[in-house]
Chains A and B, each alone.
Chain A
């Protein structure tokens, strides 16, 4: 009986990996060979909505000038733009610098959150929502560098009344710094140039990523604001929007530059927090999403796979333990068959986020050259991700069981352009 259960679990894990392999193969072919769905850039001349840009900040003195200066140079009508910089309990010079900016540029409005109480990005965004005058909210992290026409590109999507949120493309600015940043650059390419664009082409579920994206203020206020108990407020908003019958659109041409983590330690913490937050959303929305009448069958399948994406590394880790148990029990008959090859083959093309050929296709479309040679390193970063994401998954389960409060942790900035 035990052996049957262990073998069953192994076949289940193999099946899951096979589904993701087919999904990514489908996405890659779609992105490479089919007509691409462009965003709403041909309606620039329309009467664009008023936009409030929100930038959550916690000790951002080293980088905040990048995002603010970039925004001040943007080509959006300044009369229709409001910039709210949310200073969330900073103890460096963030507050002082923001006040300097405010005195020179009244369009920048600082909020200083210094009182005791809840901290974190969702709480800060909720405070800013109450002060926002724009119909559309666009969010950036403090280390981002938006291109000149980015706000216009993002805002034009909201001329479509069915659009609830829009997502732009994130590109690491420091991708040549070291092997980690090069790998992150490749992952971003696979994730945005191929995965997000293919999901948009196929009318599946492009994801709102929390930054370099915007949403309608009315949706957020009408559904109670950001959930302060969830770490992945972006994923939560994505599923909330779809469940309410709105669409999320992806604009591959709306590029924004970010600073990637430059050390594995920082990346490990970041990915663990993302996994924790994403899995909290999985627990919260799994049945709600499947039961929603506003989403079609194919979208439900894609949305479920997207929800499970941070649970799969845990399934892989446990199936490795499962394999070992079967090995020591002498049940090698399963391993000498095709199942193990299928499982190991898919697993060894490294994970459910983006297999090597999807990243390779993205890099090819982006015209990357030397960076491609970092691709084999993904083999080892796969183990790194499996480990940290599994920890994040366990964190999320403990959060669910103990109902403990989650604590926001900021990703360390490196800022190479002081």
Chain B
């Protein structure tokens, strides 16, 4: 007699996850993507001088509007062969002794508050505690060694733009490398790539303007905390956020029949 199987018990049988993997050809796919990245990088390297010129132009206009100070553009040498970078040139100022002392005290109070705060989000509290420590050290430096501070606003501006050029390139590379680990969806991945780079570009410009204004108006005392704590980390935050979207969609696609057949178990 034919045995009947009750198929109502489980409407969907999920693929067992223990040892599943993708085809080995995925490695080749990754290599192909990296090769495709090379011309993109070359184009970027040829364009970055013009990009920084546009950034500096726009930033100089906004900064002078906000601060009322005179700004100008300066071209500096950078990578050989590919050309220099443009950045905003303007004057900054060191903090007064009183401002440095007040800044010291405020940092200490913040350290204390963030350390003892019974906030549920402890990682954020630790992040702000570290930021306050960095600012405290910076304030202390300006209390005792104001005249020895080795930078001015132009140095900071130059450093920012030079780093941003490299960051954009690294973000491109890391994005392509990590998303091509999960093959498929080329067009979708390109779309997300464009979105990521637009976000990154806008973020880089807005941050540049804000930081320049803060340092120009609030003095060099803020340079360290902006550089160390609120700097590059957030570029990578955007990268990981976009990567999450990619993996989320890829996860759904590999659950359905079409992509689900791509799984290997041996």
Binary contact readout A241-266 vs B (1 if CB under 8 angstroms, 0 otherwise): 00000000000110000000001110
B240 proximal to A (CB < 8 A) = yes
The distance in angstroms between the C-alpha atoms of A338 and B170, with both chains bound, is: 10
Chain A residues with Cβ below 8 Å from B22 are 32-33
Which of the candidate stretches B46-54, B55-63, B199-207, B229-237 sits at the interface with the other chain?
A: B229-237
In the complex, the number of residue pairs spanning A and B with C-beta atoms less than 8 Å apart equals 158
Quick one: which of B11-63 are within 8 Å of A by CB?
Answer: 14-15, 17-24, 26-27, 30
The distance in angstroms between the C-alpha atoms of A335 and B158, with both chains bound, is: 12
Chain B residues with Cβ below 8 Å from A318 are none
Binary contact readout A334-361 vs B (1 if CB under 8 angstroms, 0 otherwise): 0110101100110011000000110011
The distance in angstroms between the C-alpha atoms of A329 and B244, with both chains bound, is: 39
B120 proximal to A (CB < 8 A) = yes
The distance in angstroms between the C-alpha atoms of A381 and B151, with both chains bound, is: 32
Which of the candidate stretches A205-213, A288-296, A368-376 sits at the interface with the other chain?
A: A368-376
Q: A341 near B20 (CB under 8 angstroms)?
A: no
Chain B residues with Cβ below 8 Å from A323 are 228
B166 proximal to A (CB < 8 A) = yes
Chain A residue with Cβ nearest B263? A365
Contact for B27 among A33, A361, A366, CB less than 8 A = A33
The distance in angstroms between the C-alpha atoms of A32 and B24, with both chains bound, is: 8
Contact for B123 among A35, A264, A320, A336, CB less than 8 A = A264
Q: A33 near B163 (CB under 8 angstroms)?
A: no
Known contacts: A32-B21, A324-B137. The answer to whether A373 contacts B244 by CB under 8 A is: yes
Q: B224 near A344 (CB under 8 angstroms)?
A: no
Shortest Cβ gap from B195 to chain A (Å): 15
Q: B155 near A372 (CB under 8 angstroms)?
A: no
Chain A residues with Cβ below 8 Å from B167 are 341
The distance in angstroms between the C-alpha atoms of A92 and B181, with both chains bound, is: 51
Q: B240 near A253 (CB under 8 angstroms)?
A: no
Q: B182 near A383 (CB under 8 angstroms)?
A: no
A38 proximal to B (CB < 8 A) = yes
Q: B23 near A33 (CB under 8 angstroms)?
A: yes
The distance in angstroms between the C-alpha atoms of A366 and B17, with both chains bound, is: 6
Chain A residue with Cβ nearest B23? A33
Quick one: which of B113-128 are within 8 Å of A by CB?
Answer: 120-124, 126-127
Chain B residues with Cβ below 8 Å from A36 are 19-21, 265
Interface of B is mostly: helix
Known contacts: A36-B21, A264-B120, A379-B240. The answer to whether A340 contacts B163 by CB under 8 A is: yes
The distance in angstroms between the C-alpha atoms of A368 and B17, with both chains bound, is: 11
B102 proximal to A (CB < 8 A) = no
Chain A residue with Cβ nearest B242? A376
Chain A residues with Cβ below 8 Å from B126 are 380, 383-384, 387
Q: B134 near A369 (CB under 8 angstroms)?
A: no
Number of A residues with CB within 8 Å of any CB on chain B: 58
The distance in angstroms between the C-alpha atoms of A368 and B22, with both chains bound, is: 16
Q: B224 near A349 (CB under 8 angstroms)?
A: no
The distance in angstroms between the C-alpha atoms of A340 and B15, with both chains bound, is: 43
Quick one: which of B94-137 are within 8 Å of A by CB?
Answer: 120-124, 126-127, 130, 134, 137
Q: B150 near A330 (CB under 8 angstroms)?
A: yes
A28 proximal to B (CB < 8 A) = yes
A276 proximal to B (CB < 8 A) = no
The distance in angstroms between the C-alpha atoms of A265 and B125, with both chains bound, is: 12
Number of B residues with CB within 8 Å of any CB on chain A: 62
Q: B224 near A324 (CB under 8 angstroms)?
A: yes
Shortest Cβ gap from A20 to chain B (Å): 15
A34 proximal to B (CB < 8 A) = yes
Contact for B247 among A335, A372, A379, A384, CB less than 8 A = A372
Chain B residues with Cβ below 8 Å from A287 are none
Chain A residues with Cβ below 8 Å from B141 are 328
Contact for A327 among B21, B224, B266, CB less than 8 A = B224
Quick one: which of B185-203 are within 8 Å of A by CB?
Answer: none
Contact for A361 among B24, B149, B163, B182, CB less than 8 A = B182
Q: B236 near A34 (CB under 8 angstroms)?
A: no
A364 proximal to B (CB < 8 A) = yes
Q: B166 near A363 (CB under 8 angstroms)?
A: no
Q: A367 near B17 (CB under 8 angstroms)?
A: yes
Contact for B170 among A32, A345, A364, A366, CB less than 8 A = A345
A78 proximal to B (CB < 8 A) = no
Contact for B26 among A32, A265, A268, A377, CB less than 8 A = A32
A237 proximal to B (CB < 8 A) = no
Chain B residues with Cβ below 8 Å from A357 are 178, 181, 243
Enumerate chain A interface residues (CB-CB to B < 8 A).
Answer: 28-29, 31-36, 38, 193, 197, 252-253, 263-265, 268, 320, 323-324, 327-330, 332, 335-336, 338, 340-341, 344-345, 348-349, 356-357, 360-361, 363-370, 372-373, 375-381, 383-384, 387
Enumerate chain B interface residues (CB-CB to A < 8 A).
Answer: 14-15, 17-24, 26-27, 30, 120-124, 126-127, 130, 134, 137, 141, 149-151, 155, 158-159, 162-163, 166-167, 170, 174, 178, 181-182, 224, 227-228, 231-233, 235-237, 240-241, 243-244, 247-248, 250-252, 254-255, 264-266
**Chain A to chain B: the 3 pairs with minimum beta-carbon distance, closest first:** A330-B150, A264-B122, A384-B123
New A-B pairs, 9, CB < 8 Å, besides A36-B19, A348-B236 = A28-B181, A29-B27, A32-B22, A33-B24, A193-B17, A364-B254, A369-B248, A379-B237, A384-B126
